[in-house]
Amino acid sequence: MSEILERYGASLMNAFGPPKLALVRGEGAHVWDDQGREYVDLLGGIAVNTLGHGHPAVVEALGTQVRTLGHVSNFFTSPQQVELAERLVALMTPADVEARVFFSNSGAEANEAALKLTRLTGRSHVVAMQDAFHGRTMGSLALTSKAAYREPFEPLPGDVTWVPFGDAEALAAAVTDATAAVVIEPLQGEAGVNEASSAYLAAARETTERHGALLWFDEVQSGMGRTGHWLASHASGVVPDLVTLAKGLGGGMPIGATIGLGRAATLFQPGNHGTTFGGNPLSCAVALAVLDTLERDGLLARAAQVGERLRSALAQDPRVTEVRGQGVLVGLTLAQEKAPAVVAAAQDAGWIINATGPDRVRLAPPLVLTDADVEAFVAAWPGLLDAAGVEPAAGTAP
């Protein structure tokens, strides 16, 4: 074990378990550990490192901004904060709908802000999805379905009803005139990349409008071009009342955004919510550089292309029983519950991926992943399954 990994347990709280690696350097989609070993990062900091590691645009924006103006608090604003809000409104929302942004530091905080905002409707009931993950703060945790995450911290805020993901009838039955909001991840990342159909999102829009409830899309993991669209929900044409963003927005810098559309744009009033670091010039400058680079380099189209190649190629192995996702957010279901073993075999072979369940593997690489890395992983995939002892499902030809 490396010295850093040995020191970790003596100084950090055991909230995550022992780290798998001590990483010290990154370039593009590649990272190196403290022993000098190289890995291809197909997890991207869990969909955070949109432009990979050490991207010149991020480095330049961060260096320029920190030399100019670092932090001012929200008694004041900065050109970077205002420009980023304007850009997000223009890219993420229809031109004929009023929209405004609240900046925070993370996805959990973006969702926390959205949850507080829904209370300003005068209602408190929220309908969330089974297998949902919205964060670990007390409010966002209250919306997260996994009992093992929630139960140690109960009682939690809110009156929450969970319904099966994708079941429009169950959703319609759960929403009432007392419902403040329905929250949906168009792609459930932590559940293994479960996809909401366009028809389901449209049904959710109809149900919420009928009862006067807000429709909230959590795009923390699926937004920022990862699916080939600025938002995963854009492909459906459904316009929500709330959108939450984070992860890929900052390209590695901590930033979250809660976007309110229509009546939700003006629910927050002075004193309703706050943040010390949210919308700081550093994070906003980097987020603007990320947006500029995504547009200039055509990386949304690139995400769609790379994702299609990964899904079609990896699905050819009979030991993969299902492939899900859009763009470079990819979920793979294995014929046996050996996903952790596949992750371990991948790390041994120089690939970073992760397991979201006993039989589910997730890929969320940087949008700058090269063709050479894609083809190398496709070639390595059968060997990783071999090393993990994954076999075809019964009755499937090898």
Query: Per the residue annotation, which of 33, 41, 218, 241 is the catalytic one?
Result: 218
Query: Per the residue annotation, which of 41, 217, 241, 247 is the catalytic one?
Result: 247
* Average pLDDT per 10 consecutive residues for the chain, totaling 398 residues: 89 95 98 97 98 98 97 96 98 96 98 98 98 96 94 93 98 98 97 96 98 98 98 98 98 97 98 97 98 98 98 98 97 98 98 97 98 98 98 74
Query: Per the residue annotation, which of 33, 41, 131, 133 is the catalytic one?
Result: 133
Question: Which residues are CB-neighbours of 373 under 8 A, at least 6 positions away?
Answer: 29, 40, 365
Q: Establish whether 247 is a catalytic residue.
A: yes
Q: Please check whether the two domains, 3-54+298-387 and 59-296, share a CATH topology.
A: no
Structurally, at CATH architecture level, domain 3-54+298-387 sits in Alpha-Beta Complex (3.90)
Q: Establish whether 102 is a catalytic residue.
A: no
pLDDT number for residue 394? 75
Cα–Cα distances (Å) from 106 to 140, 146, 248, in that order, read 11, 20, 10
DSSP 53: B
Q: Which of 363, 320, 381, 340 is nearest to 17 (CA)?
A: 340
pTM score, whole prediction: 0.96
Single-letter amino acid, residue 143: L
- The answer to whether 376 and 351 have CB atoms below 8 angstroms apart is no
Q: Establish whether 16 is a catalytic residue.
A: no
H or E, element range at 323: strand 320-326
Tell me the two tokens of residue 184.
């949906």
Domain range list for the chain: 3-54+298-387, 59-296
Cα–Cα distances (Å) from 101 to 83, 145, 184, in that order, read 11, 27, 19
What class does CATH assign to 59-296?
alpha beta
Single-letter amino acid, residue 378: V
